[in-house]
Amino acid sequence: MRYLPLTDADRSAMLSVIGAGSIDDLFADVPAEARLSAPIAGLPNHASEMAVERHMARLSANNVTAGSVPFFLGAGAYRHHVPASVDHLIQRGEFLTAYTPYQPEIAQGTLQVLFEFQTQVARLFGTDVANASLYDGSTACWEAIAMAGRITKRGKAVLSGGLHPHYVETARTMAKFTGDVLDTIAPELAAAPDDAALIARIDGETSCVVVQYPDILGRIPDLAAIAEATQAKGALLIAVVTEPVALGVLQSPGSLGADIVVGEGQSIGVGLQFGGPYLGLFGCREKYLRQIPGRLCGETVDADGKRGFVLTLSTREQHIRREKATSNICTNSGLCALAFSIHMTLLGGSGLSDMAKLSHAAARKTAAALTQIPGVTVVNTHYFNEFAITLPTDARQVVRALADRQVLGGVSLGRLYPQESALANGMVVAATECTTDEDIATLAAALKEVLA
């Protein structure tokens, strides 16, 4: 077996040092009736690298890849171009095969990356501080709601109807068990987001208001107005960013008054990967530092006075605080944070801004082409790189018919909101700097044909 270095001679020599007759003898503490005496029956035995690669390649070939067809899916996961050097660098063994940096003297590489990552995220979000990542955007969103509950000692979160439905469902699952109340506004296919309805729901019991920016339909809420109304009632504003590239051209949530900003970092450096692993981003005001979930990296000095970095404030965390920890999170998304950080370094402020403008331009062109089709209406007044359209028929069927024509045209709202029949004819369409004029023309032609 190619991954096992011991030879039979090694095994015998080692067993004699131990004083055991066989490897099976080392499992003597397992009750005999639970001990298997041979490999589990009915399962295949070991296979060569070539055979495994062939099997996996066959499975891989049985998918329509985003890069092979005109592609317009978004709704929380976006296809952006990732420079080749990102994947090269994250595959360096010193990053890929390192552990969590609990021994800082021999983990300064990972630690400095985390410190730089935290700074990049804080600047992007406009927050004072950021953590070293969480699992993904949806779990980061729940962690923020839980944190707001701890800070305000209140138990009601008001959720915008523009919040990604998977994020709402994740929060709903958790709230069932923690006893928090979620006041969720029903989503609507309207030109503007539900800022006013949201503000009307805030009261003295409200711990936080959760707003996605841009929202699930691509609309752009006025965070400053919501922040003011939220904070006037002693609650916290949580802004959720599922497409961080938007912040290349939109004002940062922190600068507009958000107290906590969370997000999904996937679109920078990480790739689509069928939904995971992704990257939970988390930033907030400095005064809430000790309530932040997950790992934090901080600057310090070593015994010689040289600058160095360590994981810090771990008295918040499960391995120290056990049942009193701020979160049960242990493993985070370190390698995805590295990919995000490298891609962001390659972009810089000017590159991020350019990528955002090109994505926006592609979305505008797409919207212009789709509005020409009879029966298709663009819903949004404003948007970044994603917008909603209404169709004369159920969008699920349309998405399917487009896929049959080798076009991945968007995400139907029926898929996202199976219970909301009023949304069934809606669809969200996203474009990025990867979208070509030819892709747009092909989508428009295919949609026209499907609706004819």
- Pick out residues in 6-65 that bind another protein (CB under 8 A): 6, 10-11, 13-15, 17-20, 23-31, 33-36, 38-47, 49, 51-53, 55-65
Among residues 153, 204, 322, 372, the one that binds another protein under rule CB under 8 A: 322
Region 221-250 residues binding another protein, contact defined as CB under 8 A = 222-223, 247-250
Neighbours of 85 (CB within 10 A): 12
409 within 8 A of 429, measured Cβ to Cβ: yes
Peptide bond into 277 cis (omega under 30): yes
Region 128-147 residues binding another protein, contact defined as CB under 8 A = 128-130, 132-133, 135-139
CB proximity list for 64: less than 8 A, separation 6 or greater: 403, 406, 408
Residue 264, interface with another protein (CB under 8 A)?
A: yes
Residue 150, interface with another protein (CB under 8 A)?
A: no
User: Candidates 203-211, 331-339, 369-377, 443-451 — which segment interacts with another protein by CB under 8 A?
Assistant: 331-339
Minimum CB distance to another protein, residue 424 (Å)? 11
Count of chain residues binding another protein (CB under 8 A): 211
Q: Which is nearer to another protein, 100 or 231 (CB)?
A: 100
Region 368-407 residues binding another protein, contact defined as CB under 8 A = 381-384, 399-400, 403
Minimum CB distance to another protein, residue 62 (Å)? 3
User: Candidates 152-160, 196-204, 229-237, 275-283 — which segment interacts with another protein by CB under 8 A?
Assistant: 275-283
Minimum CB distance to another protein, residue 361 (Å)? 5
Q: Is the dihedral of CA 34, 35, 41, 45 positive or negative?
A: positive
Minimum CB distance to another protein, residue 448 (Å)? 20
CB proximity list for 359: less than 8 A, separation 6 or greater: 80, 245, 384, 385, 431, 432, 433, 435
Among residues 289, 291, 375, 451, the one that binds another protein under rule CB under 8 A: 289
From residue 153 to residue 182, the character string flagging contacts with another protein as x (rule: CB under 8 A) and all else as - is -----------x-xx-xx-xx--xxxx---
User: Candidates 119-127, 155-163, 181-189, 202-210 — which segment interacts with another protein by CB under 8 A?
Assistant: 119-127
162 within 8 A of 388, measured Cβ to Cβ: no
Order across the sheet with 129-130: list the strands: 129-130, 280-284, 260-264, 236-241, 206-212, 156-159, 181-184
Minimum CB distance to another protein, residue 174 (Å)? 8
Q: Which is nearer to another protein, 158 or 424 (CB)?
A: 424
Burial state string for 120-135 with b = 16 or more CB within 10 A and e = fewer than 16: bbbbbbbbebbbbbbb
Q: Is the dihedral of CA 98, 99, 104, 110 positive or negative?
A: positive
Give the H or E element holding residue 428: strand 426-430
Residue 186, interface with another protein (CB under 8 A)?
A: no
3 state DSSP class of 6: coil
Neighbours of 10 (CB within 10 A): 10
Among residues 150, 205, 257, 353, the one that binds another protein under rule CB under 8 A: 353
Residue 91, interface with another protein (CB under 8 A)?
A: yes
Q: Is the dihedral of CA 388, 393, 395, 401 positive or negative?
A: negative
